Copies of this chain bind each other. A is one copy, B any other.
Amino acid sequence: MAENRSARVRRGRPRQAEVARLAGVSQTTVSVVLGGNKQGIVLHPDTTARVLEAARELGYVPDPAARRLAAARNNLLGVFSFTATFPTAVEHSYYPFLVGVEQEAAARGYDLVLFTGSSAGAQSGTSGALERVRLADGCLFLGRHIPAGELRRLVEHGYPAVHIGRRDELDGLAWVGADYVEATAEVVRQLAKLGHRRVMLVREDDDAPASTDRERGFREALATAGLAGADPVVRAAHPAAEITPAWLRDRYAEGVTAFVAEETDTGAAWRALLAAVEGAGLDAPSDVSLALLGSPPADLAGRPQPTGFDIPRAELGAAAVRALTGLLTTGEAESPLVACAFRPGSTAGPAPVH
């Protein structure tokens, strides 16, 4: 019987009606009082006090589903990642973003719901998994490969959504992202200032915005510095195989004195660059300068700090929450770009007299 199940399930979960009974008022009054009395209704202070006390005593917490259904808000923010949020391999995790998300959400009085729709346990690709997020007032999305169709549906229906990471292909989807263009340009400017005239970028063979933004910043800064020349960009599908000591020696012989690597999940490009330099019998930063457009992989954290920039992941998470709450309250999101801080590091130095 429904009665039985309900009674069992809601055991220990008081409802407004019970608070009302205890306080000796109507359920409506409880709703008004606990709702902060936005309507400005004049209530007797005693009534208010009794209701609050009763709610406290019972440990009343509003049911999020009911709140949402009544066309009100939940104070729940969703987080949905297209891969598991906590994958076994820490290096693929969104943990650093969550640090900022959690802090900013808490500061603004929102609770966080982690929708597990796409973790390993769930039937992957289950269509409709995204719909669950509608339990929350709005949702943050992250991950490389988004189910565009489902997400589009949500956005078109006016559901507040913010993607962490630039995402232009979905019209109307708000996003926050790191300003890779500017951050990369700054790295190039620094190298130019150190006297480097020929700089090369090693990037993945992937057209993610994060990659193309870096390349754009790279090329623009080269042009501005008057360093445009032979094609300065290498796309490496398998960096370890392509960025060899021989390759590096050839570039060096041609006059290239600085190499810049894109940050990737595995850090493959950076690893290959380090190995190639060592294999070529060269030294950074005395012979060649190296820079990394992002952070080094965890297992290389002990090595000398790469010159480059840090992606402010926590700050991005916080900015995403601000954008989402902005969408929720004023209907408009704030500026989507977050600056990356330049990291001097110790892998770049003055260009050698060649």
Residues of A within 8 A of B (CB): 2, 5-6, 8-13, 56, 59-66, 68-69, 71-74, 76, 84-88, 90, 92-93, 95, 98-99, 101-122, 128, 131-135, 137, 153-154, 156-160, 298-299, 302, 314, 328
A103 surroundings in chain B (CB, below 8 A) = 84, 86, 119-121
Can you list 18 pairs linking A and B with CB atoms under 8 Å apart?
A11-B157, A11-B158, A12-B156, A12-B157, A12-B160, A59-B159, A61-B134, A62-B135, A63-B74, A66-B69, A76-B113, A84-B102, A88-B314, A92-B95, A105-B121, A106-B116, A107-B121, A111-B121
Other contacts beyond A13-B157, A90-B92: 10, CB < 8 A:
A5-B72, A12-B159, A62-B131, A64-B65, A68-B135, A86-B101, A86-B102, A105-B119, A106-B120, A111-B115
Contact indicator B95/A90 (Cβ below 8 Å):
yes
A113 surroundings in chain B (CB, below 8 A) = 76, 111-114
Contact indicator A122/B109 (Cβ below 8 Å):
yes
Query: Taking the nearest CB of chain B, how far is it from the CB of A138, in angstroms?
Result: 10
A154 surroundings in chain B (CB, below 8 A) = 59
Contacts A5-B72, A87-B99, A122-B108 hold; do A59 and B131 have CB atoms under 8 A apart?
yes
Contact indicator B111/A61 (Cβ below 8 Å):
no
Partner of A116, one of B5, B90, B102: B102
**How far, in whole Å, are A68 and B103 apart by their CA atoms in the complex?**
26
Contact indicator A71/B2 (Cβ below 8 Å):
yes
Query: Taking the nearest CB of chain B, how far is it from the CB of A155, in angstroms?
Result: 9
A99 surroundings in chain B (CB, below 8 A) = 84, 86-88
Query: Taking the nearest CB of chain B, how far is it from the CB of A123, in angstroms?
Result: 8
Contact indicator B134/A13 (Cβ below 8 Å):
yes
**How far, in whole Å, are A29 and B19 apart by their CA atoms in the complex?**
37
**How far, in whole Å, are A157 and B90 apart by their CA atoms in the complex?**
38
Query: Taking the nearest CB of chain B, how far is it from the CB of A118, in angstroms?
Result: 8
A110 surroundings in chain B (CB, below 8 A) = 116, 122
